[in-house]
């Protein structure tokens, strides 16, 4: 049994009902989750009800591989916060991403992100705290900032479907 075929199950809800065809994908916790199948599921269900399981498994493998290739993998860069090895900041929008294989685009993105952090004095806004008096009126407002360590960059991979 190949590694790919261990990652999914195929079957019919009812023995002679091709419209009840399903594909279940293996999840990280060991359980299976049903995948929504378009109209090609009827044909696979028909083949499965005829007893041609090997052909169905081959076509489902092809379907899952093509679906995986449709995902686009992009790269963005972030920086760790000073004094922390687990907290980091990055830009979450798609404009701050580069293609995985274009080295010139990645270098240009890295330089522009680093320059943006330098312009903001390496400060990241983490929150706002308000102090209230006895009548619940605002006495003082404090802005909280964390300092970004520009000497510790971090490469992040973003999968887009």
- Computed over every residue of the chain, the mean pLDDT equals 79
Contact by Cβ (8 Å): 90, 81 = no
Query: How does pLDDT run across 10-48, given as a tens digit for each residue?
Result: 777 767 777 777 777 776 677 777 766 666 666 777 777
The residue ranking higher by pLDDT, 50 or 70, is 50
The residue among 10, 83, 71, 85 whose CA lies nearest residue 44 is 10
**Residue 121 DSSP class:** T
Distance of CA 21 to the CA centre of its chain: 28
Tell me what pLDDT residue 142 has: 92
Tell me what pLDDT residue 59 has: 80
| pTM value > 0.95 | no
Residue 58 pLDDT more than 60? yes
Tell me what pLDDT residue 73 has: 75
For residue 94, what are the CA distances in angstroms to 85, 106, 119? 25, 14, 21
The residue among 157, 160, 156 whose CA lies nearest residue 78 is 156
């Amino acid at each position: 049994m190949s590694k790919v075929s261990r990652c999914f199950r195929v079957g019919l809800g009812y023995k002679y009902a091709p419209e009840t065809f399903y594909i279940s994908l293996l999840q990280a916790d060991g359980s299976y989750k049903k995948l929504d199948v378009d109209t090609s599921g009827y044909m696979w269900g028909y083949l499965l009800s005829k007893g041609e399981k090997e052909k169905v498994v081959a076509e489902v493998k092809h379907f899952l591989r093509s679906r995986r290739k449709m995902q686009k993998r992009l790269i963005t860069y972030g920086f760790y916060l000073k004094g922390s090895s687990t907290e980091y900041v990055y830009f979450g929008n798609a404009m701050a991403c580069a293609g995985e294989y274009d080295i010139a685009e990645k270098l240009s993105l890295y330089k522009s992100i680093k320059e943006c952090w330098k312009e903001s004095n390496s400060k990241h806004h983490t929150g706002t705290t308000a102090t209230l008096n006895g009548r619940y009126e605002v006495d003082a407002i404090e802005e909280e900032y964390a300092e970004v360590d520009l000497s510790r960059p971090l490469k992040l991979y973003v999968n887009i479907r």
